[in-house]
Amino acid sequence: MCKFYLSKGQVIDNRFEIKFQISSNEKAQSYRALDKQSNKTVYLKLCLTNNNEAELLRTISHPNIVNYLCQGQFQGYIYFCTSFVSGESLASKLKREEYLSIFESTNLILGILNALKYLHNLPNPISHNQLSTENILLELKGKAEIIKISGFGKSSFQNDFSQDILSVGKLFYTMLLGEIEEGIEKLKFPDFFDEKTIYILKKCLGLNPFAHYENVDQIIEDINSESLSFTTRKENLGPKKEKVLKTKLNKPKGFSAIAGMECLKATMQLDIIDALNQKEKYEEYGLTIPNGMLLYGPPGCGKTFFAEKFAEEIGFQFYQLKPSDIQSKWVNASQENVKNLFIEAEKKAPSIIFIDELDAILPSRDTDNINHMNTAVVNEFLAQMNNCGERNLFIIGATNRPNAIDPAILRSGRLDKHIYLPPPDFLARKQMFELYLSKRPIDILDYEQLAQLTENFVSSDIKLICDEASRMALKQSSKITMDILSQTIKDTPASLSPQQLSEYAELEKKFSTQRKEKDKKKSKIGFV
């Protein structure tokens, strides 16, 4: 990406105040700006090379084409403004929804075709030449989406419309089945497409050797003359294909679903994942996977979420254990539950056993308020956790109170690694907003500003903010804007007070010091 020439807050011709930088390349830069004369948001494009886009847009006017407003010069470069489309691009919509129904796809294609029909039938016909999901904009009008075509940088006055017709076919196919990853000649048409849909697509894409479209009027006529029966992708799959699709769409995301925590991801990759995938290499160094790790820190920082995504990343059998899962009113039943869990996990090894609220399940036996049954459970866990790595079992414990856990659990040979998860830093908060909002209908957002506004907010706070902002936008039938998010942040207090954060920082320092002192006394550290 080329460096932006205009900065946020800069005013052009005493009229247009730059609000956001949108995109930049060697030919042009685009911005979101405020027209101070009309007090309306506009789209401003700065042309870095000779470009006839502004002059071309001045000559056309259609409901499905962006509306030209004005043009001017800035430091020798031509710029022009069009009305700002309050909505999203087709690319953003498909990224969120993956594919569209035939009903929605047809409506959108007809909007594109209506605009092309207007351009192609002008006294001096125009070919767009660069139709793509990026320059097809969807303006939100109540519950309806209105097509607005933009991106006329490569448009030309000509009578050859074959490129536009081909682009219509690509767009139609992409809306129905997703992005075209290989060449057009390798496209496949599933058997749940009706013949008419395939016929229209092949004629647009030039795949029908006996017929092709000469103009967009013919495409419009074919679409309107037949009721296309391909209703939705899932409705026509049948049980077997629907199961395959469900698996594909719901494929676990693993570490890619986690924003931040880069050091922890790298540690798990080196010590666990690589150790399993490169056993012979690790064995040369006398290393196996560690027996387990302790994740500790304030509530809401993603300890449980990380354990679940780690299991997805590595593909292990995953067992999640809470206090209520093993506790029993019957004598010796709790110990039996623990034993059975480890037997089951070992049968299906490699396995991950995640123990939530570790301090409640394995409290320190040195405290006065622990009863005999709790002591027996701790002893059973100690016995089962010895050298788990050799049995292809990996234990992850999570707690908000590491100082309340029995010390014997934390020694080498059991939970070898101890990792503190603090509230997310600036970069992690920025990535969380990007991740949580990536598949929602969003306006242009300043993620750095959102990260600045949420200092000391934990992961669960940021997720809540994104959900509440989405509800507010849904209620207003609008996109999720910076104003909505900023107001939601103001209305959402952080889960942890500054005093609580300070207490956790002191606890981490104390716990880390104790661990280092113990490690000095040991000859073997980290691996069994």
Residues 346 and 474 in one domain: no
What number is the average pLDDT over the span 263-268? 81
Beta bridge partners of 138: 88, 147
Residues 42 and 130 in one domain: no
Which pLDDT does position 519 carry in this prediction? 57
* DSSP sequence for 470-507: HHHHHHHTS-B-HHHHHHHHHHS--SS-HHHHHHHHHH
* Range(s) of the domain holding residue 357: 290-416
CA angle 372, 377, 379 (to 5 degrees): 95
pLDDT exceeds cutoff 50 at 239: no
Residues 30 and 97 in one domain: no
Which pLDDT does position 235 carry in this prediction? 43
Are 29 and 40 in contact, with CB atoms under 8 Å apart? no
pLDDT exceeds cutoff 70 at 225: yes
pLDDT exceeds cutoff 50 at 36: yes
Q: Nearest-CA neighbor of 176 among 124, 232, 227?
A: 232
Residues 404 and 479 in one domain: no
Query: Using one digit for the tens of pLDDT, what is the confidence trace for 335-374?
Result: 777 888 888 888 888 788 888 888 877 777 666 555 545 6
- Top pLDDT among 329 and 187 is at 187
pLDDT exceeds cutoff 70 at 524: no
Residues 167 and 127 in one domain: yes
Q: How are strands ordered across the β-sheet holding 87-89?
A: 87-89, 136-141, 144-149
Which pLDDT does position 227 carry in this prediction? 53
Which pLDDT does position 226 carry in this prediction? 57
Residue 157: inside a domain: yes
- Top pLDDT among 523 and 197 is at 197
- Top pLDDT among 440 and 235 is at 440
Query: Using one digit for the tens of pLDDT, what is the confidence trace for 96-118?
Result: 888 888 888 888 999 999 999 99
Band of pLDDT at residue 65, cut at 50, 70 and 90: very high
Q: Residue 72 belongs to a domain with what CATH number?
A: 3.30.200.20
Whole-angstrom Cα distance, residue 27 to residue 12? 19
Residues 94 and 203 in one domain: yes
Residue 259: inside a domain: no
Query: Using one digit for the tens of pLDDT, what is the confidence trace for 491-511?
Result: 999 888 888 888 888 877 776
Residues 216 and 102 in one domain: yes
Band of pLDDT at residue 228, cut at 50, 70 and 90: low
Residues 29 and 122 in one domain: no
Residues 483 and 405 in one domain: no
The SS3 call for residue 337 is helix
Band of pLDDT at residue 237, cut at 50, 70 and 90: very low
Residue 244: inside a domain: no
Q: Nearest-CA neighbor of 365 among 377, 350, 383, 351?
A: 377
Domain edge (last residue) among 83, 113, 148: 83
Query: Using one digit for the tens of pLDDT, what is the confidence trace for 177-211?
Result: 888 877 787 787 777 677 788 888 889 998 877 77
Which pLDDT does position 399 carry in this prediction? 86
Residue 188: inside a domain: yes
Band of pLDDT at residue 517, cut at 50, 70 and 90: low
**Burial state string for 185-216 with b = 16 or more CB within 10 A and e = fewer than 16:** eebeeeebbeebbbebbbbbbeeeeeebbeeb
- Top pLDDT among 345 and 251 is at 345
Residue 243: inside a domain: no
Query: CB within 8 A of 226, min separation 6: which ones?
Result: 196
Q: How many domains does the chain have?
A: 4
Query: Using one digit for the tens of pLDDT, what is the confidence trace for 8-28?
Result: 899 999 999 998 888 888 888
Whole-angstrom Cα distance, residue 66 to residue 63? 8
**Burial state string for 43-80 with b = 16 or more CB within 10 A and e = fewer than 16:** bbbbbeeebebbebbeebebebbbbbbbbeeeeeebbb
Percent of the chain with pLDDT over 70: 85
Residue 254: inside a domain: no
Residue 67: inside a domain: yes
Residue 502: inside a domain: no
Residues 55 and 116 in one domain: no
Check: pTM over 0.85? Answer yes or no: no
Band of pLDDT at residue 62, cut at 50, 70 and 90: very high
Domain edge (last residue) among 27, 58, 83: 83
Residues 400 and 455 in one domain: no
Residues 405 and 304 in one domain: yes
Tokens of 74: 């800035």
Which pLDDT does position 261 carry in this prediction? 76
Domain edge (last residue) among 203, 224, 245: 224
